[in-house]
Amino acid sequence: MPATTPATAPAAPQQARAFFEQLNHAYNAVHKRKEDLFWATYMATSDDHAGFAAAEGAYKAFISDPAQLAQTRAHLQALQALPAADQEADLLHGLKGWLALFEANIIDNDEGRALMQQIIEAEAALFAKKRDLQPTHINERGETEVATLSMLATNQATNPVEARRRSSFEGFQAIERWVLDHGFLEIVKLRNRFARALGFSNYFELKLRKNERMSPAQLKAILDDFVARTEAAHARTLSDLKAQHGEAALQPWNLRFYASGDVVRRMDEYMPFGPALRRWVESFRRLGIQYRGATLQLDLLARQGKYQNGFCHGPVPSYVNEKGEWVPGQINFTAEAKPDQVGSGLRAINTLFHEGGHAAHFANVAQNSPCFSQEFAPTSMAYAETQSMFCDSLLGDADWLKRYAKNAAGEAMPDELIRARIASSQPMRAFDERSIAVVPFFEAALYEMRDEDLTAESVLALARATEQRVLGMVSPRPMLAIPHLLNQESAASYQGYLLAHMAVYQTRAYFLREYGYLTDNVAIGPLLAQHYWVPGNSIDHDATLRSLTGEGFSARYLAEACNQSVDDSWQQAQNLLAAAATRDYPTQVPAALDAHIRVVHGDEVLADNRDGEAAMCSRFEAWVQAQFPQSAAA
């Protein structure tokens, strides 16, 4: 009898470790195939939509396999039954990561699995058809042109001719109608059927509980509270615009133009498209951000058929493998810039900072399994977006603009223009954040509708009514033109952006308390890596905030930022500028981003960093100047 115990005891760790390592390798294979095809079809370098749908189906089948969930639970139970000294903490940690992933994605009945496959096929078909959609507008030169979402938004904010701005809004409306007429409502019905098959009341509740571990009532309380906190500031903005420019200012195609005045146009000289890549590289490097050997592929320009929204994804998740070896990430991100359009440089660098922030996050997750460093549930969208939005928030800081925003003659953006930017953007802060909130309000109501009520007219009516209730006007970016609503990964998740913004301003407040500044603060990258990035989804969003800032999730910092007056914001900016002018910035900063970077345009490689980042940026700028000689270059 005594001999059986030592003979059988080692079997549990050995079998569990073999299972754990097999999960890691199998996941990497199915995930990479899906993500590679996702990139190729979304970048319009492949028409293999059927292949992508099949690869996505295989990936979904893997992460929602009840048998793998059962085995994971069994191995965990066997390990936990052993004496503590024999449990192997790293193995327990890794298996708990897989348990969380499977529990977040499990489809535990045949009906649910069949419906998921139908959703994947329906979305793939919609996406394939949508690539042929060609909304148009009238551009700055008075020409009718096919326009991407980015071009529509930029023209609406910068074109001095109202009829041309209105044509961009009508382009958004055309997308809405197209989406409603080409299968989106059937997808909504399928998603709700799928959610009910899994025991949820509707798809919005399913996504919220799985992605943010929150109930619809909890989210509604947060949204209602934020809307109430910003009501006075928002009402003041609309009233001031109407008093200054008349009733026409509150037409959706006019709002952004009148709110920004000519600031975006005036900033264009200091924020051209070509140097955006260099400014991203230098700024991130001086923040101490490192990519730990990751391979980054950037596709930055608009192109026919290309997906019309910036995104970041990682075909190879970073982790430490069973041999203790670092597996660097492979990460792609995209923008949709049109370099000869006013405002394109500003939009491009915003995308570089935002998606580059995502890439920095996912390149730095250093756990013992890829399950901790992938972007889907149980990874919180709010947690993931906190990383990217913190980085792009720096672009509005006066000291960043003074240090990096320069014209072709090398002259820094003048204080007067920085103040004008604050005067145009600060009053819109509440409107901008409420514009995020309006989406989850709409989606929550959309997925509560009965199937028989889901008609194009009723859904459009719901969209307009929700916009009016939250914004007091029709949104400049109509609801159904938002691409996130069409893809199951991002659908019913938009609230993550607002929750992330709340965390961003909490994070900014911490760094400002500790250091007094953000721009080129080389301490920031290592601290973000330590507290936010390295753990991946092994801890929740609130725990990451507590780890760095010492306090749990709080919305008050964002509300306070939204409610500031222009004068208060300008005083803060002046304080930043004065401190920056006398600051001795650290000289010990990383020499490079520690990444293998390729800048592509579809299948064409425009530049890479094999000869260094400076050479890559110079080649990219030269290419932009050659292709778009009328665009500014600094």
Q: Where are the domains of the chain?
A: 4-106
At 272, give phi and psi (nearest 5°). -70, 165
Average of per-residue pLDDT across 333-344 = 87
| Pairing state between β 319-320 and 326-327 | antiparallel
Residue 9 has pLDDT above 60, yes or no: no
Q: What is d(CA 72, CA 62) in angstroms, rounded to the nearest whole number? A: 13
Residue 6 has pLDDT above 50, yes or no: no
Residue 39 has pLDDT above 50, yes or no: yes
| pLDDT, tens only, 225-270 | 999 999 999 999 999 999 999 999 999 999 999 988 688 889 999 9
Residue 2 has pLDDT above 60, yes or no: no
Give the per-residue pLDDT at 187: 98
Q: Within 13 Å and on the Cβ side, how many CA atoms surround 402?
A: 19
Q: What is the dihedral of CA 591, 314, 597, 279, to 10 degrees?
A: -60
- Spatial neighbors of 422 by CB under 8 A, at least 6 apart, are 398, 566, 569, 570, 573
Question: Which residue has tokens 């009829």?
Answer: 163
| pLDDT, tens only, 50-81 | 999 999 999 999 999 999 999 999 999 999 99
- Spatial neighbors of 106 by CB under 8 A, at least 6 apart, are 64, 65, 66, 69
Q: Which two tokens stand for residue 454?
A: 């889901």
| pLDDT, tens only, 301-338 | 989 889 888 899 999 999 999 999 999 999 999 988 88
Of residues 595 and 106, more confidently modeled = 595
Is the Cβ–Cβ distance between 294 and 329 less than 8 Å? yes
Residue 484: other Cβ atoms inside 10 A: 17
pTM: 0.89
Give the per-residue pLDDT at 108: 82
Of residues 148 and 10, more confidently modeled = 148
Q: What is d(CA 39, CA 237) in angstroms, rounded to the nearest whole number? A: 40
Triad 245, 251, 253: Cα angle to 5°: 105
Question: What is the three-class DSSP state of 376?
Answer: coil
Give the per-residue pLDDT at 7: 38
Residue 631 confidence class, pLDDT cut points 50, 70, 90: low
Q: What is d(CA 52, CA 37) in angstroms, rounded to the nearest whole number? A: 5
Give the per-residue pLDDT at 387: 97
Average of per-residue pLDDT across 132-146 = 95
Number of H helices, E strands in the chain: 27, 9
Report the share of the chain in percent with pLDDT over 90.
Answer: 87
Where is average pLDDT lowest: 5-14, 83-92, 442-451, 609-618? 5-14
Question: What is the three-class DSSP state of 137?
Answer: strand
Give the per-residue pLDDT at 4: 38
| pLDDT, tens only, 151-180 | 999 999 999 999 999 999 999 999 999 999
Q: How far does Cα 618 stand from its chain's mean position?
A: 28
Q: What is d(CA 616, CA 438) in angstroms, rounded to the nearest whole number? A: 41
Is the Cβ–Cβ distance between 386 and 541 less than 8 Å? yes
Question: What is the three-class DSSP state of 300?
Answer: strand
CB-neighbour burial class of residue 604 (10 A; exposed 0-12, middle 13-18, buried 19+): exposed
